[in-house]
Amino acid sequence: MGGIAIGQPVPDVELVTTDDQTIRFSDLHGKNVVLYFYPKDNTPGCTTEGQDFRDNFEEFRKLRTEILGVSRDSIKSHESFKSKNCFPFDLVSDADGTLCALFDVIREKKLYGKKYMGIERSTFVIDRKGVLRQEFRGVKVEGHVAHVLDALRAL
């Protein structure tokens, strides 16, 4: 499968985010970036994961790190999800799957015996120069944010 590899610069793609923003990865140079992919707004695991990032937000700020959550949900859905949970970071709408393809996070999944293609919960750590430094795939929510913070501290 495709995707960006550890040690490679992240392509300068455009990101459509909450708070009516359009940014590029190059806009974030000088900061570390945590890009976390999650399946769907307002579902139990995704809500808990976002809340864990929210609850540790100050620690990420101390490490000069920007957090961006990514799913294929619409900006309207993201705005509601962000507001409801008081997320201090933006969410990215990847409705066309560009970022999902770039980071190779789409996997076959099963729900109630039916197969479908969806986002595998994954997190990527990008350094201040825009280079992918760490990836976490098949993430289990519990304890995950602590592992991401450890990876940032090791940069």
**What's the CA gap between 61 and 69, in Å, rounded?**
16
Output the six-digit token pair for 62: 């101390």
Pairing of the two strands 65-71 and 32-37: parallel
Active site residue 46: yes
Taking the C-alpha atoms of residue 90 and residue 70, their distance in angstroms, rounded to an integer, is 9
Q: What is the DSSP letter of 131?
A: B
Q: Which of 46, 119, 145, 152 is catalytic?
A: 46
Cβ–Cβ under 8 Å, residues 82 and 99:
no
User: Sign of torsion, CA 40 124 122 119?
Assistant: positive
List residues with catalytic annotation: 46
